[in-house]
Copies of this chain bind each other. A is one copy, B any other.
Amino acid sequence: MHRTKVRVATDALDANDTIAAANRADFDRAGVKVVNLMSAPGAGKTTLLEYALSDGIDGVRVGVLEGDVQGRLDADRLSVLHVPVTQLNTDNGFGGECHLDANMVRSALPEIALDEIDMLLIENVGNLVCPAEFRVGEDARAMVASVAEGEDKPLKYPLMFRTCELVIVNKIDLLPYVDFDMEHFLANLDAVNPDAEHVLVSARTGEGVHLVRDWLSEVAAREASPA
Contact = CB atoms under 8 A, between A and B. Distances in A.
A194 interface: no
A97 B174 contact: no
Contacts of A73: 152, 155-156
Contacts of A149: 41-42
Interface stretch (A2-10, A128-136, A216-224): A128-136
Contacts of A178: 174, 204
Given A41-B40, A42-B40, A156-B69, A98 B148 contact: no
Contacts of A179: 204
Nearest to A152: B73
Nearest to A39: B41
Nearest to A13: B94
A179 B205 CA distance: 11
A95 interface: yes
Given A158-B70, A179-B204, A128 B129 contact: no
Nearest to A159: B95
Closest 9 CB pairs of A and B: A42-B149, A98-B129, A148-B148, A95-B133, A95-B159, A40-B41, A98-B130, A42-B150, A41-B128
